[in-house]
Amino acid sequence: MLKIENVTVKSEDKVILENFHLEIQPGEIHALMGQNGAGKSTIAKVLLRDSHYDVQGMISFHNKDLLAMNTTDVAREGMFLVMQNPIEIAGVSNAELLRTALNDRGKNTGNILEFHRELTEYCKRLELPTSFVHRDVNFNMSGGEKKKNELLHLWMLKPNFLILDEIDSGLDVDSLKLVARSLVEYYEAYHPSILVITHQKTLLDILKPQFVHVLKDKHIIKSGDFSLAEQIFQDGFGASTMRNGETNE
């Protein structure tokens, strides 16, 4: 589904990622971990074709050359990024945004009542007031409301590849549980691939990624199963950042 091979990413001539490899198959959940500034959010934005980055190498998504696509094309192929700090857009309501996005994806929203019913239903599931349908996108919302609002978009657009860039940052315990539960429900309903970027144990404990990768020195230095994440939470990145095959001796 997603294949990243030997990718180098530069921004203003500064190399952020180098020799970066990652492969994600349909329905797999991968966690990308690493210290602050390691470049985790960069890979998320590169995949969504943020034009600020100069990218060399090969990335294929659904067997198509992702580097030949623009941001709109990638999103229409099913990729969806939940940003660490979702953007506020004054004057554009959730309903207006989602109707435009769905129409642009060729999904007919002609039946306004059905569209509204579905949207209010997801609001309730996310414990958001139904007035959120007409609220401006992320505008004047708390950190928790913004993340839930992003999930509202997720449920409506039904992407097949999720990138969760620290979706758990700034959430209180109850909101985090609700967000995690909603993600699990989405996974069970649609089996998307997920790339989750996080520093928190709680989210990973609930999502249970099958693959965990450690990003350091501009590329993935170690990969493993969920036990690697547990090791990182227990011992920190120091002990866990020995490359595959390395030992303490």
Positions in the binding site for another protein (CB under 8 A): 48, 50, 70-72, 74-76, 80-81, 83, 86-87, 89-92, 96-97, 100-101, 104-105, 136, 139, 153, 157
- For residue 228, how far is the Cα from the chain centroid? 20
- Of 105 and 116, which has the nearer Cβ to another protein? 105
For 180, the token pair is 């995690």
Q: 27, 25, 10, 64: which is closest to 188 by C-alpha?
A: 27
- Of 74 and 171, which has the nearer Cβ to another protein? 74
Least separation in angstroms between CB 88 and another protein:
9
Least separation in angstroms between CB 106 and another protein:
10
Least separation in angstroms between CB 201 and another protein:
28
- The answer to whether 175 touches 54, Cβ cutoff 8 Å, is no
- Of 23 and 104, which has the nearer Cβ to another protein? 104
Burial 102-130 (b: 16+ CB within 10 A, else e): beeeeeebeeeeebeeebbebbebbebee
Least separation in angstroms between CB 89 and another protein:
6
Burial class (CB in 10 A: 0-12, 13-18, 19+), 49: buried
- The answer to whether 7 touches 56, Cβ cutoff 8 Å, is yes
- The answer to whether 157 touches 105, Cβ cutoff 8 Å, is yes
Least separation in angstroms between CB 75 and another protein:
4
Q: Give the Cα separation of 162 and 198 in Å (integer).
A: 14
Least separation in angstroms between CB 138 and another protein:
9
- Of 90 and 113, which has the nearer Cβ to another protein? 90
- Of 55 and 232, which has the nearer Cβ to another protein? 55
- The answer to whether 218 touches 10, Cβ cutoff 8 Å, is no
- Of 105 and 125, which has the nearer Cβ to another protein? 105
